[in-house]
Amino acid sequence: MIRVLLADDENLIRSALAALLALEEDLEVVAQAASGAEALAMARAHTPDVAVLDLQMPDRDGISVAGELATVLPGCAVVIVTGHGRAGHLKRALEAGVRGFLPKTVSAPVLTDVVRTVHRGGRYVDPELAAEAISAGDSPLTPREADVLELAAGGAPVEEIAARAHLSPGTVRNHLSSAAGKLGAANRHVAVEVARRHGWI
Partner DNA sequence: GGCCCTCCATGACAACCGTCATGGAGGGCC
Partner DNA sequence: GGCCCTCCATGACGGTTGTCATGGAGGGCC
Chain residues binding a second copy by CB under 8 A are 9-13, 15-17, 19-20, 23, 81, 83, 102-108, 110-111, 154-157, 185-187, 189-190, 192-193
**How far is CA 139 from its chain centroid?**
16
Interface with DNA includes 193 (CB under 7 A)?
no
Residue among 197, 196, 190 at smallest CA distance from 176:
190
Q: Which one of DNA, a second copy, none is in contact with 95 (Cβ closer than 5 to 8 A by kind)?
A: none
Binding footprint of DNA, residue count (CB under 7 A): 23
Is residue 28 within 8 Å of 37, Cβ to Cβ?
A: no
Task: For the CB of residue 106, give the shortest distance to a second copy in the complex, in Å.
Answer: 5
157 contacts DNA (rule: CB under 7 A)? yes
181 binds, among DNA, a second copy, none (CB under 5 to 8 A by kind): DNA
What is residue 166's DSSP assignment?
T
Which residues ranging from 79 to 138 are in contact with DNA (CB under 7 A)?
Answer: none
**Which amino acid type is present at position 82?**
T
Q: Which helix (DSSP H) or strand (DSSP E) does residue 53 occupy?
A: strand 50-54
According to the binding rule CB under 7 A, does residue 142 interact with DNA? yes
Task: State the SS3 of 54-96.
Answer: ECCCCCCCHHHHHHHHHHHCCCCEEEEEECCCCHHHHHHHHHC
Partner in contact with 173, chosen from DNA, a second copy, none, beta carbon below 5 to 8 Å by kind: DNA
Compute the distance between CA of residue 192 and CA of residue 186 in angstroms, rounded to an integer. Answer: 11
Q: Per CB under 7 A, does 196 bind DNA?
A: no
- Alpha carbon distance 165, 138 (integer Å): 24
Could you tell me the smallest distance in angstroms from the CB atom of residue 45 to DNA?
41
Q: Is 150 in the site for DNA (CB under 7 A)?
A: no
Q: How far is the CB of 71 from a second copy (least distance, A)?
A: 29
Where residue 166 falls (left for φ over 0; alpha for ψ -120 to 50; beta otherwise) is left
Cβ nearer to DNA, comparing 103 with 169 = 169
Choose among DNA, a second copy, none what residue 145 binds, the Cβ cut-off being 5 to 8 Å by kind: DNA
Task: State the residues that interact with DNA by CB under 7 A.
Answer: 142-145, 157-159, 167-171, 173-177, 180-181, 186-189
